[in-house]
Amino acid sequence: MVDIKDTVDFYWDPICPWCWITSRWMVDVGSQKQIQVNWKLFSLKKINKGRDIPEHFKILHEIGLRALRVAAAVSKKYGNDGLAKFYTVMGTRYHHDSEDIDEPDILKEILKSSGFPPRLADAVDEEVWDKIIAADMDQAIAKVGTDVGVPLIVLDGGKGPGFFGPVFSPAPSGKAAVELWDAIIVTGRTPGFFELKRTREVDPLFGERPDI
């Protein structure tokens, strides 16, 4: 049984390039430190509802929500490992291959590549899955509030402190990835610590395309 201290909840929306970068770093860190990553759903459309944001972001956020519905269907049927595989394939096809992840035909291909039945792509238009997404988001918001997006991490299997980030481009790898994780854990567990930020100076850099 995995110790709660070695388990993290990672919240993601497939449309966010920064979240994709951080998720691959989290996979790297998890592998090196034997951390169990619980993949959780988080809709940027839902968290930004009613906020004044540019129209092109609204379009992207809608795409993300549609894709998350399929992710919710995958999670219900195939669990955390299935969801991890689906996010890896979908994120690769979207961020590295520039494919449309809200189109049913593309989603069917992604599902098939992930080893899942293409019929799960029907979930893209089924709002019933929004309840599962909202339930995950409620858990995150209870830890970090509403002034956040993704990536979002909650420690101790969802029972510990949570925080938005880290955001970087490109992601560190190998030993450097673990060193950054250890530093972030110290900060994340410090009572009263809220923010550490500076202006982004580069676009998202994804690194090598994952082998899917």
- Can you give the CATH number for the domain in which 92 is found? 3.40.30.10
Q: What is the mean pLDDT of residues 55-62?
A: 96
Q: What is the mean pLDDT of residues 48-62?
A: 95
Nearest to 73, CA basis, from 130, 16, 11, 14 = 130
1: confidence class by pLDDT, cuts 50, 70, 90: low
Contact indicator for 37, 78 with CB cutoff of 8 Å:
no
Whole domain around residue 161: which residue ranges?
4-188
Residue 71: both structure tokens together: 């992710």
115: confidence class by pLDDT, cuts 50, 70, 90: very high
- pLDDT tens digits for range 8-34: 999 999 999 999 999 999 999 999 999
> Is the residue at 210 inside a domain?
no
> Is the residue at 193 inside a domain?
no
- pLDDT tens digits for range 122-139: 999 999 999 999 999 999
> Is the residue at 211 inside a domain?
no
> Is the residue at 183 inside a domain?
yes
Task: With a cut of 90, say whether residue 80 has pLDDT above it.
Answer: yes
The whole-angstrom separation of Cα 88 and Cα 117 is 17
211: confidence class by pLDDT, cuts 50, 70, 90: confident
Query: Domain count of the chain?
Result: 1
Task: With a cut of 90, say whether residue 4 has pLDDT above it.
Answer: no
> Is the residue at 155 inside a domain?
yes
State how far the alpha carbon of 142 is from the alpha carbons of 38, 69, 76, 111, 174, in Å: 17, 22, 22, 32, 32
- pLDDT tens digits for range 142-151: 999 999 999 9
> Is the residue at 61 inside a domain?
yes
Residue 112: both structure tokens together: 């098939």
Cα atoms found within 13 Å of the Cα of residue 177, Cβ hemisphere only: 19
Say what the pLDDT of residue 190 is.
Answer: 93
Q: What is the mean pLDDT of residues 75-102?
A: 97
Say what the pLDDT of residue 2 is.
Answer: 61
- pLDDT tens digits for range 159-190: 999 999 999 999 999 999 999 999 999 999 99
Phi, psi dihedrals of residue 164, rounded to the nearest 5°: -80, 140
pTM here is: 0.96
> Is the residue at 121 inside a domain?
yes
> Is the residue at 203 inside a domain?
no
